[in-house]
Amino acid sequence: MVSLKNCGTALPDFFPVLSAVPMNPTKMHCLWIAALFGWVLALVLLVLITPRIIRKFTAQLPSSRPANWSSILQTKIDDVSGCRWTDSRPLYVFAGDSHVEMGDWYSLFRGRFAVRNCGLSGAGIEDVDAIVSSIPNQKVQCLILMCGINDLTSGVAVSDCMESYKRLLHSGQCHSAIQSLAAVSIMPVRSSPIDSRSHAVNREVAKFNEQLKRICSESNVKFIDVSGTFSTNGGSLPMDFTQDGLHLNAKGYRVLADRLSASINQVGQLPTP
C-alpha cells in the first residue's frame, strides 16, 4: 500500500507526470486521489459498457430451452386447439417460432383479413408441426410457416431439419381445414468479425433455405424467399432491421410484411388492395 505521509517527496511510478511536477504536499495528495479516482471510474465504466458493446456486435442466439418446455408447448397446443374463430373474413394463420410470435400481423397487414398468430418463441420445426396439427377444423385460407432457426442454432443438421420440415408440410397439406400453404425462408443472424458462431449459423441458414426451396417445389408448396431482403452482401442480417442480432425490430417487421404481402395475396387468392 502507498503511504500518503511522504507523498510530497515521491509518487508511485504509474503517475510519472505528477511525480515530475514540484508542488506542495497538499496539492500532491489531492492530485493523487483524483488520479486514483479516475482509474477506478474508468474501470467501472469499462465493466458496464463492455457487455453492451458485445451485445451490439454479436447476435443473441437462442439459449437452451427452459426445463418446463413440454408444458409451454402443451399450453400453446391447447390454446390453438381450443380457439374458435368467429370472424367471417378469410383466415390467415401464421405458425412458427419467435419471428412469428413477436409480429403484430393483423396491424402489419392493416386488418385486411383475419389473422391467427400461432407462433411460439423457442419452437423448433417439430414443435410447429405439433401446433399445426392442433388447428381446429375451421376453414383456413392460408397457413404461413416460418421456422427452423432454433433447430440450426441448437446444432441440428440441415438434412435432419429438412426431414422434419417435410413432415410439417405433410401435416399442413393433410389438414382438412387448410386451403393453401406457404413456407417462408428463414433469415440470417447479424454477424461480426468477433462473432465466429454467427458466421457458422449463417452458412447453415443459406443451405437450409436452398434445400427448403427444393422440398417446397417437390411438395407443390409456395416458397416465399425473403433472404435477399434480409441479408447483406456478407450474408448477415442488416443492423437496422434487428434489435438483438436475431429478432426483428419494428422496421424489420414492416419490411417483412410488405415483402410477404404480394406472395400471400397470390397463394391465398386475395385481391391486392
Question: What is each CA distance from 165 to 86, 204, 267, in whole angstroms?
Answer: 30, 15, 19
- Residue 141 amino acid letter: Q
Sign of the C-alpha dihedral, residues 94, 95, 96, 98? positive
Contacts of 24 (CB under 8 A, 6+ apart): 8
* Paired residues of 192 in beta bridges: 195
Question: Is the pLDDT confidence value at 140 over 70?
Answer: yes
Mean pLDDT score of the chain, rounded to an integer? 84
pLDDT digits (tens, 9 = 90+) for 206-253: 999 999 999 999 999 999 999 999 988 888 999 999 988 899 999 999
Determine the Cα angle at 108 with ends 271 and 127, to 5°.
100
Torsion angle (degrees, nearest 10) of CA 205, 74, 60, 216: 10
